Structure 1
Amino acid sequence: MARLPPTSDSGRLLPVVPKDPLTNALDAIVVSTDLIEDELRPHLETVLTVIQEKQRGAAEHVAVSGVLPTLAQALRRRGPLTLITAKLVSELARETVIRERCGETGVSSALLSVLLSRDQELLIHAGRAIARICYESRCQQEQLLRLGAVPRLVGILLGFKSNQALEGVCLVALCNLGDMGEGGEDGGISWERGVSLCPEESVFRGVTCHSCGFGSMVTVVRLTQWSPGQHTVSIEVLSRYSIGFWTMHNNRRTVRRSPLSHLGTCPRFYKAIKYSVQNIPNSRSLKSLIFHIFL
């Protein structure tokens, strides 16, 4: 039986309002079961473009559309759609309304499965998505830690030492997982390798400048091997102020300072994480993915 067009109470035909491109794309992705590249890629690109343009209400529309489980499935399949899906999830993870749904929809665990890939571009997008998802979110941090995010991120750091962009993404993700993120969800940190005290130690030093120009935040991440396949991650954040700041401060009021105050640094936080990066399991079982992690 043919479906009749909508009518008003008076019997007049109502105009058919066409769906906007975002709605059409989301509807097509949600109903897809086979994840065929030729069919879905244009729709994924449409959603990505809309999110990048920051159209009003777009993130909320995506959040309630039911599309996130499909994106998680595309990430796990490791097919031709995985890269663009990871890029889309990375952009979506900027939005709080999306971040808070990543755990329950399987997106977070799917991103961790992507971290086993050898595709460095894919790893950058997945790592950036994880960094954004767990930024200032204790719930997401705890879930990702339970699922084994730390050993996989550090495994990438140890395996791709020549890729500075990937290195920076993983360091920001580690800091955000430890609730030590500075400079926003993407870090805004300029990273460099520091001097290590022993061959078993890798040191990374990141600097975030304050907008006022009088100081900066220094983040130090240390990876120390304490037995075969076993490492400790320590993260320390310090505030550093310029001589101009102290001069201005002293001109306003006289205070009693310690003999070391001229150094202009004071530790703000310190956290250590112990974990194993040996024999990372491919199983999705929660029990097999738990590592020895202490925050």
Structure 2
Amino acid sequence: MIGDSLANSLNAIRVSTELIEEELRPHLDTLLAIAQERKKGMAEQVVESSILPVLAHVLWRKNSITLKTTKLVAELAKDPMIRERCFHTGISSALLSLLGSTDQELLLHVGRAISRIGHDSTLQQEKLLRNGAVPLLASVLLRYPENEALVGSCLQALCSLADMAEEDGSAMAWEPVGYVAPEEWVFRGTCRNTGSTLSSTVTLVRLQQLAPGQFVVTVEVLQRCSTAFWTAHSKMASSVRWFPRPHMNGWPKFYKVIKYSVQGYPQNGSWKSKLFHTLL
């Protein structure tokens, strides 16, 4: 029974004091399999079992079950109840400590976990930013530009920290936007709206390195509408004047800038700002 397997694995991890890898491995496998099935009520049981601090200790140890534990944390972080507790249980700081790894598969899942923890949560975003998430993610992104999945994971995490990410980042396809300027990189992510063929979303992430460990990240989301949309709109315009037609097939929706330095936040002004654009 799944219920019994879940309860047994949660209890085994909770009472583990030595954190012996071979003893924990099968229980991590069980939890990962159940988490991937998104069984109802699992998040509540995980929180009540108090295993999150144990998982954080496993991540800090950086051993043979670190990758499996990171996968589990990334899967669990899909649930709002669990990601709310990631900072206070030590999960978030443990994940950030792993961004110095050279294991690209591990980094991929760390990026996914951070992206999910920060999704739609201003509090979690601020905590991750204050603990240096931006320069760490930027460093990983620039170290492995040939690993498309890893680059996408880091970019999705940066978008999440800017509160500009889609909930399902797997739908995004990222590509670099040619040469821009020294110490500046731009990436474009596309995600077609599944409910409509008339529009699609484009996300632009601009990364500027001001100094070692000091970055400015700009995230911009644009909505693009197809020619079919504007043709249909033109037919309606004579009788229904609901908004002016712009002179192009896409326009900025909004963008957010994150400024972060390893020395801390600027003393003057806001460390994060949002600008809204409208067409007149």
TM-score after normalising by structure 2: 0.88
1:58 paired residue number: 42
How many Å separate the matches in 2 of 1:174 and 1:228? 18
User: How far, CA to CA, are the matches of 1:203 and 1:269 in structure 2?
Assistant: 17
Offset of 1:56 from its aligned partner?
A: 2.2
- Write the letter of the residue equivalent to 1:107: I
Gaps of 5+ in 2: 273-280
Equivalent of residue 197 in structure 1, options 166, 173, 180: 180
Measured after TM superposition, the shift of residue 50 of structure 1 is 1.1
CA distance in 1, matches of 2:47, 2:69: 15
Contact 1:172 1:186 in 2 (8 A): yes
Deviation at 1:266, TM superposition (A): 1.5
**Paired-residue identity, %:** 51
Q: Which residue of 1 aligns with 2:221?
A: 237
1:77 to 1:291, Cα distance in 2 relative to 1, 3 A: farther
Match of 1:117 in 2: 101
**Structure 2 counterpart of 1:263:** 248
8 A Cα contact 1:172 1:187, kept in partner: no
Q: How far apart are 1:94 and its partner, in Å? A: 0.8
C-alpha RMSD of matched pairs (Å): 1.8
CA positional deviation for 1:187? 5.3
Among 21, 24, 47, which residue is 2:5 paired with?
A: 21
Q: Measure, in 1, the Cα distance between the counterparts of 2:145 and 2:188.
A: 15
The match for 2:141 is 157
- Residue 81 (structure 2) pairs with residue 104 (structure 1): no
Given that residues 134 and 215 in structure 2 are in contact (C-alpha distance below 8 angstroms), is that contact kept between their aligned partners in structure 1? no
- When Rg is computed on C-alpha atoms for both structures, the one with the higher figure is 1
- Report the secondary structure of 1:196's partner residue: coil
Distance 1:237 1:159 in 2: 25
2:131 and 2:28 map into 1 onto residues whose CA distance is: 27
Residue 224 of structure 2 aligns to a residue whose secondary structure is strand
Higher deviation after alignment, 167-176 or 233-242: 233-242
* Match of residue 111 from structure 2: 127
Distance 1:291 1:82 in 2: 31
Mapped to 1, the partners of 2:8 and 2:174 lie a distance apart of: 42
**Helix, strand or coil at the partner of 1:176:** helix
| Cα shift at 1:198 | 1.6
Distance (whole Å) between structure 2 residues aligned to residue 112 and residue 54 of structure 1: 25
Query: Is residue 131–residue 177 contact of structure 1 (8 Å, CA) maintained in 2?
Result: yes
Partner secondary structure for residue 247 of structure 2: helix
Which string of whole-angstrom CA distances, capped at 9 and with x for unpartnered residues, describes residues 206-227 of structure 1? 1111120111111111112334
Distance 1:228 1:128 in 2: 25
Question: May I ask how many residue pairs the two structures share in their alignment?
Answer: 263
Write the letter of the residue equivalent to 2:54.
T
The residue matched to 1:118 in structure 2 has which SS?
A: coil
1:144 to 128, 141, 146: 128
Match of 1:272?
A: 257
What's the offset of the Cα at 1:127? Answer: 0.7
- Residue in 2 that maps onto 1:294: 271
Are residues 1:167 and 2:151 paired?
yes
Cα deviations across residues 21-56 of structure 1 (Å, max 9, x unaligned)? 111111110111111111110111111111112222
Q: Deviations over 1:178-215 (max 9, x none)?
A: 01113x24252111110233232211001111120111
Secondary structure at 1:174 match in 2: helix
Give the TM-score normalised by structure 1: 0.84
Maintained 8 Å contact 2:205/2:220: yes
